[in-house]
Amino acid sequence: MPEFVLTVARFGFLILLWIFVFTVVGVIRRDLFAGVRSKNIVASPRGVGGAVTQGRPAKVKRGKAARQLVVTAGQLAGTRITLGDLPITIGRAEDSTLVITDDFASARHARIVPRDGQWFVEDLGSTNGTYLDRGKVSGPTPVPLGVPIRIGRTSLELRP
Amino acid sequence: MKTHRNAELGLLAFAMILVAIYAATVEANQFNTIHPTFWIPAALLLTLFIGLHFVVRFTAPYADPVLLPAVALINGLGVSFLRRLDIARAIANKKPTPGWFEGTSGHQLEWTLAALILAAVLLLVVRDHKVVSRYAYTLGLVGIVLVMVPAVLPSSLSEVNGAKLWIKLGAFSIQPGEFAKLALVSFFAYYLVRKREVLSLASRRFLGIDFPRGRDLGPVVTVWLLSLLVLVFEKDLGTALLYFGLFVVTLYVATERASWLIIGLVLFFGGVYVAYLLGAAVGGPFQNFYDRASIWLDPFAQANYNKPIGGSYQLVQGLLALGTGGLFGSGPGAGSPGLVPAVRTDFIFAGMGEEIGLFGLSALLVCYLLIVERGLRAALNVRDSFGKLVAGGLAFTLGLQVFVILGGITGLIPLTGQTTPFLSAGGSSLMANWLLVAMLLRISNAARGPANSGGSSDRPGGGPKKQPTQLHGAPTEVFKP
C-alpha cells in the first residue's frame, strides 16, 4: 500500500467521523427548530363541532392555530405538548395528560378542550382554582395564544 | 408530527460506512492490502441495527432519531477495534486471520446481537415507561442484591484484578453491577417521585442556599453508606461513585435543590478522603483504594511503576499511548495498542487514542455527549415525573460512567475499572447499556409523540390496559413555604 493511500485513509476517516458528528447535530438542530419553520402546518382540532372549514379556524388570533401547549413556569417548565384533537387534562393524577406535581394543584385540576377551532380551558372543581391571566376561570373560557393559564405555581401557554 | 425515522436510518447507514472505512484502513495498515471482504463486519452490524431500527419504527415511532445511530457508531468502532487487535495478535503468532465470529471481536459481535435482541424485547414488552414504576420496589431489591452479591461471594468467584465486581461461573463471568444501575435508577425515580414534596419543601436557609432539614437526610446518608460499603468491600471507587452520583443527581432533578449536589459532593469526597487516610494508616479493606490513589498522585514514580501487582504500569502505558497518538493519531491499524495492558476492556480508549488521535477521540466523546444530551432532552420533555427522573438518571449514569473511566485512564481521577459503555469488550456492559438506550428510546417516544398517544395507545385495545399508578398518593406533611 503506498504511503499516500494510508495518509488519505487516516485523515479521511477522521474527517468523515466529524462529518458524522455534525450530521447528527444537524438532525438535532432541525428537530429543535421544526416548529419554527413549519408555520404553514396548522394542527387545528379536527372533527369537533363540524364548523371547521378548510382546516383553518375562523376565531384564531392572527390567523394562527395553537400547535403546542408550553409550560412556562413551575416544576415542569420547558415541557411542550403537541396539541392534537383530543382534550388535555391537567392535574396531579398520574393518568392526566400533563401530570403536575404542584402543591397547589388538585388531582384533576383543569382541562383544555378544543371546540370549533378554539381551545377552551375549563376548571374541574379544583381546590385552588384555575386562572386565565388574572381572571379566575369559572366556566369554559376561550384561551388566546400566549396568554398564561395559571395553576398553582405552574403557568401554561398556547403557542402556535 | 414528523418522526424522523428515515433520518435515523440514513445516519445508521452513515455510521456503518464509517465502520467499514475504519476496517479497510486497518487492513491496509496491517496486511498492506485490503481484502475484498473487509466490509463484512460492518454489513453484519448494519443488518442488526436495521433490525432494531424497525422495532423502533413500529413500537416507538416518535423516539429520538439520533440516539440509535450515535450508539451504533460507538459500538461498531468498538467491534472493529477489537478485530484490529485480534488481527495483530494473529499476525504476531503467525496464525491465520481469525474468522468473523472468532476472537474477542467475534464474541463482541455475538454480544451485540444478544444486546440488541434484549433492547428490542424491552421496547416490545414495555410499551409505556410508567408501567416500570409498578415494579419499583422489586427492581430496587433486585438492584441491591445485584450490587451486594459480588461483595459476599468468596474472592475466587468474584475478584478480577483486585476489584470484586464479578460473578464467575466457570468460563462465564458477568458483572452484575452493570444491570444493577438500571434497576436502581427505576427505584430511585419512583421513591423520589413519592417523596419529592418532603425533600424539596422543608428547608433551612444557610449562606443563601436552601438546605434540607437534618431528619430528611436519611435516604441520602443511607445510599452514601451503601456506596462506601461498595468502595470498601468491592474495592472499587468507580462503582461507588457511580451509584452515589446517580442517587444524588436524581435527588437534585427531583427537588431542584442545588444543596443536594453540595451535600453529595462533600459527603463523597469526605468519605473518599477518610478511606484514603484509613488505607494509609491501617490498610486492610482500604488498602486497594489507597494504592490506586497513590498511583494516581504520582504514576511515574519508580516505586509505583515497578510494583509487580497493582502498580502504575498500565496507567503509564495508557498515557504514553495517548501521547504517541498526538493530535491525529497514527492511523487505524498503524499503532501498537498491544503494548497497553487491558486494552480490550478498561484501556480501550487509550488504545484507540493512539490510532485516531485527539481528533478522533473527541469525535467519539462528542457522540457520548450527544447521547447524554438526547437523554436529558427526553427527560425535559416527557410529561410525567417518573419518566423525567428515569430518563435523567439513566442519561446521567451513562455520562458519569464515561467520565469515571476516561478520567481514570487520563489521570484526572484515580483509575478504577469501569467499562467504557458500548466500546469495551464484554457482554454485561454491552447488554446493560443497550437496555439503557432502549429505555431512553421508550421515554423519548413518550416525550416527543403527540399528546394522548404516548405509550400503548398506538394499539388501542391491545395489550394490558395501563393502570393509573398512584405516584402522588403519598401522604405529605404541611410546612410553611
Q: What is the pLDDT of residues B40-87, one digit of tens each?
A: 889 999 999 999 999 999 999 989 999 999 999 999 999 999 999 999
Q: What is the pLDDT of residue B475?
A: 36
Report the alpha-carbon angle B389-B390-B391, nearest 5: 95
Grid coordinates given for B31: 496486511
Q: What is the pLDDT of residue A18?
A: 94
Distance of CA B384 to the CA centre of its chain: 24
User: B171 or B436: whose pLDDT is higher?
Assistant: B436
Q: What is the pLDDT of residues B132-188, one digit of tens each?
A: 888 888 888 888 888 888 777 777 777 766 667 777 776 677 888 888 888 888 888
Report which of A58, A94, A53, A67 is spatially closest to residue B128, judged by C-alpha positions.
A94
Chain A residues within an 8 Å CB radius of B15: 20
B481 Cα to chain A: minimum distance (Å): 10
Mean pLDDT of A7-11: 89
User: Pseudo-torsion of CA B292, B298, B299, B304, nearest 10°?
Assistant: -70
% of chain B with per-residue pLDDT over 90: 31
Q: What is the pLDDT of residues B207-219, one digit of tens each?
A: 666 666 666 667 6
Report which of B60, B77, B67, B115 is spatially closest to residue B371, judged by C-alpha positions.
B67
Cα–Cα dist B345/B419, whole Å: 6
Interchain pair B468, A75: CB under 8 A: no
For A41-55, letters b (16+ CB in 10 Å) and e give ebbbbeebeeebeee
Report the alpha-carbon angle B200-B203-B204, nearest 5: 155
Cα–Cα dist B90/B73, whole Å: 25
Q: What is the pLDDT of residue B451?
A: 65
Q: What is the pLDDT of residue B12?
A: 94
Cβ within 8 Å of A, B 372-391: 373-374, 380-386
How far CA A153 is from CA of A149, B71, B212, B413, in Å, comes to: 11, 39, 21, 42
Report which of B359, B323, B358, B317 is spatially closest to residue B338, judged by C-alpha positions.
B317
Residue B366 has its nearest CB partner, among A5, A21, A86, at A21
Mean pLDDT of A124-153: 84
Give the predicted TM-score (pTM) of the model: 0.78
Q: What is the pLDDT of residue B121?
A: 95
3-state class (DSSP) for residue B178: helix
Q: What is the pLDDT of residue B35?
A: 85
Reply yes or no on whether the pLDDT at B190 is more than 80: yes
Structural domain boundaries in chain B: 5-472
**Closest chain A residue to B361, measured at CA:** A14
Cβ atoms within 10 Å of B287's Cβ, excluding its own: 16
Cα–Cα dist B449/B443, whole Å: 10
Q: What is the pLDDT of residue A38?
A: 43
Is residue B335 less than 8 Å (CB to CB) from chain A?
no
Reply yes or no on whether the pLDDT at A64 is more than 70: no
Reply yes or no on whether the pLDDT at B194 is more than 50: yes
Cα–Cα dist B391/B441, whole Å: 9
Is residue A37 less than 8 Å (CB to CB) from chain B?
no
Mean pLDDT of B387-414: 91
Residue A92 has its nearest CB partner, among B373, B466, B472, at B472
Q: What is the pLDDT of residue B117?
A: 95
Grid coordinates given for B386: 417518573
Write down the residue that cell numbers 419512583 correspond to: B190
DSSP B21-67: HHHHHHHHHHHSS--TTTTHHHHHHHHHHHHHHHHHHHH-TTS-TTH
A112 Cα to chain B: minimum distance (Å): 12
User: How confident is the prediction for chain B on average, in pLDDT?
Assistant: 82
Reply yes or no on whether the pLDDT at A39 is more than 50: no
Q: What is the pLDDT of residues B447-473, one digit of tens each?
A: 887 765 434 333 333 334 344 444 443
Q: Are B155 and B360 a contacting pair, CB within 8 Å?
A: no
B7 Cα to chain A: minimum distance (Å): 7
Grid coordinates given for B121: 424485547
Q: What is the pLDDT of residues B196-205, one digit of tens each?
A: 766 666 666 6
Interchain pair A20, B357: CB under 8 A: no
User: B5 or A117: whose pLDDT is higher?
Assistant: B5
Is residue B246 less than 8 Å (CB to CB) from chain A?
no
Cα–Cα dist A137/B218, whole Å: 42
